């Protein structure tokens, strides 16, 4: 029998945590044959709530769930973990400056980088969800130099799935018929959902989305804004930040990474840039990737038109600024 996989969820007493842990325990992240041990971390004020989550996990009697460790000690939480899902963050509160939010978050990620580096299993895969996701992941990467940079990623799969959802609605098709959209850049309102390479499976075979959606205004403007602003639209409607869709996207991200992407299709992932598509080396930037044998690689050779280039550069610029801000919060220069 396979050893159980140890999955760390930080900020596990929060909203996404509550949606995510049952998905992991049901095998939606690592497959129906893979047993798991959940390591749940939160901070002291949330300790009682965290224990409540643990009680519910026990009550659900999940066959794949072999144990639950719930703790407020980051070193204990990180011990031996194979996968780390980082939901822990400090939310922006009314009246707070961008710099204050950044400062709180980068210090969390700097501290957790060092705990992971010391305690995690070799080859631990890390997914940062908490915002600013790309920059938190960057700080984690820079302050955990012994973790291979390939192992540190951030979530843009929610934006990817949102773009697919919008196209499927527009064409009155099912989401599983749409593939190969791309999210470029930062998980923020500058992200660029690119549909130039996206295809749809129809009864007449595979067609390009651009061929089927004749409405250029919708493709070049409305779709982009809808995906960029979807997080805010969910908060307006549901009164809380997206949780079930974020949890589901986190499962998609890890499942594809560990078990591989389907033949002929890619996903979007925030990964460190090796300079592909002219993006500054070392940034955590969302690219189209395929995965095989537990490793991602950036899809190469896609044709980029002028419209896309400008949008890819704008979101890169924002990430460079975030990086500078993050370092100035840590009192260091880059
Ligand atoms: P939440 O506020 O409900 O949960 C966050 C949890 O983190 C809380 O339980 C809090 O006590 C805990 N926490 C704070 N500091 C901690 C620390 N140092 N160590 C351990 N735990 C700590 O927030 P929610 O809705 O679950 O969202 C989590 C994060 O994910 C937020 O930053 C949110 O902006 C981000 N997000 C990212 C998305 C993406 O696509 N990348 C999509 C949706 C949300």
Say if residue 305's pLDDT is above 90: yes
* 133 Cβ inside 6 Å of ligand 1: yes
Say if residue 332's pLDDT is above 80: no
Q: What is the pLDDT at residue 94?
A: 77
Active-site residue, selected from the candidate residues 39, 187, 197, 253: 187
In 62-150, alpha helices (H): 74-78, 98-119, 133-142
| CA torsion, ordered 299, 300, 301, 304, to nearest 10 deg | 70
Residues in the chain: 334
| CA torsion, ordered 166, 310, 137, 283, to nearest 10 deg | 150
Q: What is the pLDDT at residue 257?
A: 98
Mean pLDDT for the stretch of residues 242-263: 98
Cα–Cα distance measured from residue 80 to residue 86, given in angstroms and rounded to the nearest whole number: 16
* 114 Cβ inside 6 Å of ligand 1: no
Say if residue 247's pLDDT is above 90: yes
Answer yes or no: are the C-beta atoms of 17 and 50 closer than 8 Å: no
Task: From 326, 313, 297, 324, select the one nearest 131 (Cα to Cα).
Answer: 326
pLDDT single digits (tens) 315-327: 999 999 999 999 9
Determine the atom of ligand 1 nearest the C-alpha atom of 249.
Answer: 40
Q: What angle do CA 168, 251, 155 make, to 5 degrees?
A: 80
Q: How far is the CA of 307 from the centre of ligand 1 (A)?
A: 34
Q: What is the pLDDT at residue 44?
A: 98
Does the active-site annotation cover 253? no
Q: How far is the CA of 87 from the centre of ligand 1 (A)?
A: 4
Say if residue 304's pLDDT is above 90: yes
Determine the atom of ligand 1 nearest the C-alpha atom of 11.
Answer: 7
Paired tokens of 182 = 């791309």
pLDDT single digits (tens) 130-149: 999 999 999 999 999 999 99
* 108 Cβ inside 6 Å of ligand 1: yes
* 87 Cβ inside 6 Å of ligand 1: yes
User: What mean pLDDT value characterizes the chain?
Assistant: 96
Number of H helices and number of E strands within the chain? 11, 14
Measuring from atom 34 of ligand 1, which residue has the nearest CA?
A: 131
pLDDT single digits (tens) 266-293: 999 999 999 999 999 999 999 999 999 9
Cα–Cα distance measured from residue 58 to residue 107, given in angstroms and rounded to the nearest whole number: 33
* 270 Cβ inside 6 Å of ligand 1: no
Measuring from atom 25 of ligand 1, which residue has the nearest CA?
A: 15
- HSE value, Cβ hemisphere, 13 Å, CA-based, for 187: 27
Cα–Cα distance measured from residue 126 to residue 246, given in angstroms and rounded to the nearest whole number: 16
* 212 Cβ inside 6 Å of ligand 1: no
Q: 131 labelled as ligand-binding?
A: yes
Determine the atom of ligand 1 nearest the C-alpha atom of 159.
Answer: 40
pLDDT single digits (tens) 178-192: 999 999 999 999 999
Q: 15 labelled as ligand-binding?
A: yes
Task: Kindly state the percentage of the chain with pLDDT values over 70.
Answer: 100
Q: What is the pLDDT at residue 93?
A: 77
* 256 Cβ inside 6 Å of ligand 1: no
Q: 16 labelled as ligand-binding?
A: yes
Task: From 92, 91, 130, select the one nearest 109 (Cα to Cα).
Answer: 130
Q: How far is the CA of 129 from the centre of ligand 1 (A)?
A: 8
Cα–Cα distance measured from residue 315 to residue 216, given in angstroms and rounded to the nearest whole number: 22
Q: pTM of the entire structure? A: 0.97
pLDDT single digits (tens) 79-125: 999 999 999 998 877 778 878 889 999 999 999 999 999 999 999 99
Which of 78, 241, 322 best tests ligand 1's pocket when mutated (most atoms within 8 Å of CB)?
241
**Residue 66 buriedness (CB in 10 A; 0-12 / 13-18 / 19+):** middle
Give the number of other CB atoms < 10 A from CB of residue 244.
14
């Amino acid at each position: 029998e396979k050893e159980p996989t140890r999955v760390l969820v930080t900020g596990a007493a929060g909203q996404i945590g509550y949606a995510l842990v049952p998905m992991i325990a049901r095998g939606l992240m690592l497959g129906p044959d893979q047993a798991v041990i959940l390591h749940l971390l939160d901070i002291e004020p949330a300790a009682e709530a965290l224990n409540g989550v643990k009680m519910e996990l026990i009550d659900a009697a999940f066959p794949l769930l072999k144990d639950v460790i719930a703790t407020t000690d980051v070193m204990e939480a990180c011990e031996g973990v194979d996968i780390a899902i980082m939901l822990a963050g400090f939310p922006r509160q009314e009246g707070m400056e961008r710099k204050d939010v950044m400062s709180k978050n980068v210090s969390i990620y700097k501290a957790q980088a060092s705990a992971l580096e010391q305690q995690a299993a070799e080859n631990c895969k890390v997914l940062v969800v908490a915002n600013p996701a790309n920059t938190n992941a960057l700080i984690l990467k820079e302050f955990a130099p012994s973790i291979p940079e390939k192992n540190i990623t951030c979530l843009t799969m929610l934006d990817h799935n949102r773009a697919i959802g919008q196209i499927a609605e527009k064409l009155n098709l099912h989401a599983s018929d749409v593939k190969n959209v791309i999210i470029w850049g930062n998980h923020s309102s500058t992200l660029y959902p690119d549909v130039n390479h996206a295809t749809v499976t129809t009864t007449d075979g595979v067609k390009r989305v651009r061929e089927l959606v004749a409405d250029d205004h919708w493709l070049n403007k409305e779709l982009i804004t809808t995906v960029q602003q979807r997080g805010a639209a969910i908060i307006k409607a549901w009164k809380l930040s997206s949780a079930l869709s974020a949890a589901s996207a986190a499962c998609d991200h890890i499942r594809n990474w560990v078990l591989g992407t389907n033949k002929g299709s890619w996903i979007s992932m925030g990964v460190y840039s090796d300079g592909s598509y002219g993006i500054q080396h070392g940034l955590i930037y969302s690219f189209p990737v395929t995965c095989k044998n537990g490793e991602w690689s950036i899809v190469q050779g896609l044709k980029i038109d002028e419209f896309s280039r400008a949008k890819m550069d704008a979101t890169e610029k924002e990430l460079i600024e975030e990086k500078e801000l993050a370092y100035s919060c840590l009192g260091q220069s880059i």
